[in-house]
Amino acid sequence: MPTSTLPDVDLKSLARDIRVDIIRMIEAAGNGHPGGSLSVVEILAVLYWKFLKHDPKNPAWTERDRFILSKGHACPALYAVMARRGYFPQSELLSLRKLGSPLQGHPDRLRLPGIEFSTGSLGQGLSVGVGMALAAKMDKKGWKTYVVLGDGEMQEGQCWEAFMSAPKWKLDNLVMILDHNNGQIDGPVDQVMNIEPLTDKLRAFNWEVQSIDGHDLAALEKALERAQKADGKPHAIIAKTIKGKGVSFMENNVAWHGNAPKKEDADKAVKEILNG
């Protein structure tokens, strides 16, 4: 049976390598979203190497955990993770956004095995995750559903319908992780449409809530371990992150939300990541 963990994985080094992949992919494509891809790296690494029950050789395995990247524009991070986990050769990463490539600009479940839901229209992922988690409950299955949201998409009303419905069905097999980097295409989230006080809001909706440093690998592991509890409540992990993490001129700079680096900037970014 496939296992969720791999032995002797240096997640810190792995996160560094994934960030290099992201920069080179977006540079080659000439288009993409580096800021939010760089911020979500540790979250995806811990999930895919430590917690997700999945089988890269059999992506349709019925007992797998389900994962949805609701902030689909951050798919370069997901693709880099999937390639390094064995879903497809790493050599394909530079085909990002190319015509005919399975690595579309947003995840496409019809093109890439291992993608559970085609995302890109922000605000939809948690609703689908609620449906998946409810299906598992109804079928008495033990697999879990994990959904990663961006904080900008928390401004979508559909998210709050999902936040309201999950506790009704006692979906303690649902884990929502928020990549809380406080940046969206129009500016800082707290200035565009403030979503705070977020912890209080989610607890008022009857979610189990944790707030952590989203780049702290140990904190992520501890939070996800706690989220395995079957306590009758859905679990929310608010992971505070830095948009453009690892690249000084991209960090907390919303100008890099959806701009691809040219070769000079990409080379500088890779150098910073490798020396960081």
pLDDT digits (tens, 9 = 90+) for 83-142: 999 999 999 999 999 999 999 999 999 999 999 999 999 999 999 999 999 999 999 999
What angle separates helix 157-168 from helix 125-138, to the nearest 10 degrees? 20
Where do the DSSP E strands lie in the chain? 66-69, 145-150, 174-180, 208-213, 235-240
Does residue 2 sit within a domain? no
Place of tokens 């399975």: 102
Per the CB < 8 A criterion, the answer to whether 236 and 174 are in contact is no
Domain membership flag for residue 148: yes
The model's pTM: 0.97
Any domain includes 4: no
Instruction: Tell whether 1 is covered by a domain.
Output: no
Backbone torsions φ then ψ of 170, nearest 5 degrees: 50, 50
Number of domains in the chain: 1
What was the pLDDT predicted at 177?
A: 99
Among 168, 177, 171, 166, CA closest to 141: 171
Q: Per-residue pLDDT tens for 21-74? A: 999 999 999 999 999 999 999 999 999 999 999 999 999 999 999 999 999 999
Sheet holding 174-180, edge to edge: 66-69, 145-150, 174-180, 235-240, 208-213
| Domain around 243 | 12-275
In a domain, 6, yes or no: no
On whether residue 36 sits in a domain, the answer given is yes
Q: Is residue 138 part of a domain?
A: yes
Q: What's 152's domain CATH number? A: 3.40.50.970
Say whether pLDDT at 1 is over 50: no
User: SS3 for 213?
Assistant: strand
